[in-house]
Amino acid sequence: MYKCVVLLVLVTLQGSVIWSACDVCQSNGAACINQTSYNLCFGSSMPNTAQNFTCTDGLVCTDQPIICFQRSETPASCGDTDSCGQCAPNYVFACTSRSTFAFCFGSTKPTNVTGSCPAGYFCDASTQEICVIKTTDDSIICHLDEPSVV
Ligand SMILES: *[C@@H]1O[C@H](CO)[C@@H](O)[C@H](O)[C@H]1NC(C)=O
Ligand SMILES: *[C@@H]1O[C@H](CO)[C@@H](O)[C@H](O)[C@H]1NC(C)=O
Ligand SMILES: *[C@@H]1O[C@H](CO)[C@@H](O)[C@H](O)[C@H]1NC(C)=O
């Protein structure tokens, strides 16, 4: 019985990856301004905007304890949403949020045939697999928590 409870908790934790948004104080004490820059919160719930910090080359602002993390390991907490709902470059599907997608069926506009990635996966418009666990340098991620209205 005890083992079952532990297992359940583990499974639940794994499925509850909480993605943050721009300008929101995260558990690591940083609020991402955009994909590569952040403000510190200094224990407050509001970002301190007096100083802007920028991650070093190749790193992006994340909710990981070390704040700036390799882009290939963790998608940025916040960033541009230019690719959201865009069928290009594959015209097969468009990511409508970090974890949802809509099929394009060769069109430039997504259709209303939509789907969700399994827990722990996110939508990557650069890959035929649609939903992936790890990003790559070429990843095209839609930085939205909720599906964009298309
Ligand atoms: C991110 O924000 C910082 C601070 O405002 C700015 O200097 C930088 O150009 C921005 N980067 C991008 C990719 O928008
Ligand atoms: C930080 O970045 C924001 C947004 O780009 C900008 O408006 C602000 O002036 C910057 N602050 C400092 C201290 O550079
Ligand atoms: C999708 O759009 C088509 C055509 O407009 C419509 O007939 C269909 O009911 C819609 N399906 C859903 C799931 O909204």
Residue of the CA atom closest to atom 4 of ligand 2: 33
Q: What pTM does this model have?
A: 0.58
pLDDT at 103: 97
CA dist 122 → 8, 41, 97 (Å): 22, 27, 9
Residue 50 Cα, ligand 2 centroid: separation in angstroms? 8
Q: Which of 46-55, 79-88, 93-102, 116-125 shows the lowest per-residue confidence on average (mean pLDDT)?
A: 79-88
Residue of the CA atom closest to atom 10 of ligand 2: 52
- Cα(57)–Cα(99) distance, integer angstroms: 26
Non-local (6+) Cβ contacts of 5 within 8 A are none
pLDDT in tens, 27-58: 999 999 988 999 999 999 999 999 999 999 98
| Residue ranges per structural domain of the chain | 18-79, 80-150
